[in-house]
Chains A and B, each alone.
Chain A
Amino acid sequence: MRALAREAFDKSFWIFAVAALVTGIACYLVFGAESFGEALTEDATLVGFLVPKLGAAVLIAAFLQALVPPSIFAKYMGSETGLKGMAIASAAGTVTPGGPMTSFPLVTMLRDSGTGIGALVTYVTAWTTTGLQRVFMWEVPLMGPEFATIRFLASIPLGIVAGMLARLFPARALPETVKQAGE
Chain B
Amino acid sequence: MELIAMWGLAVALGGLVWLKRGPAETMTAMRKALDRCLRVMPRIAVAVLTAGFVGRLIPSDIVVQHIGPDSGLSGTLIAMLVGGFIPAGPIISFPLVVVLSQAGAGTVQLITLLTAWAVFAIHRIIIYEIPLMGLRFSTIRLVSSLPLPLIAAGLTSLMLSAIH
Contact = CB atoms under 8 A, between A and B. Distances in A.
Interface in A1-20: 4, 7-9, 12-13, 16-17, 19-20
Given A147-B107, A169-B140, A174-B136, A26 B29 contact: no
B56 A39 contact: yes
A101 B128 contact: yes
Identify the interface centre among A9, A120, A128: most chain B CB within 10 Å of its CB: A128
A72 interface: no
Contacts of B118: 128-129
Identify the interface centre among B5, B14, B51, B148: most chain A CB within 10 Å of its CB: B148
Contacts of A30: 57
A134 B13 CA distance: 17
Interface residues of B, number: 82
Interface stretch (B62-70, B74-82, B90-98): B90-98
Interface string B1-26: 01101110110011011001100011
B7 A66 contact: no
B73 interface: no
A47 B48 contact: yes
Interface of A: 4, 7-9, 12-13, 16-17, 19-20, 23-24, 26-27, 30-31, 35, 39-40, 42-43, 46-47, 50-67, 99-101, 104-105, 107-108, 111, 117, 120-121, 124-125, 128-129, 134, 136-140, 142-145, 147, 150-151, 153-155, 157-158, 161-163, 165-166, 169, 173-175, 177-178
Interface of B: 2-3, 5-7, 9-10, 13-14, 16-17, 20-21, 25-26, 28-30, 32-54, 56-57, 89-91, 94-95, 97-98, 101, 107, 110-111, 114-115, 118-119, 121, 124, 127-129, 132-134, 136-137, 140-141, 143-145, 147-148, 151-153, 155-156, 159-160
3 A-B pairs with least C-beta separation: A23-B53, A63-B13, A165-B144
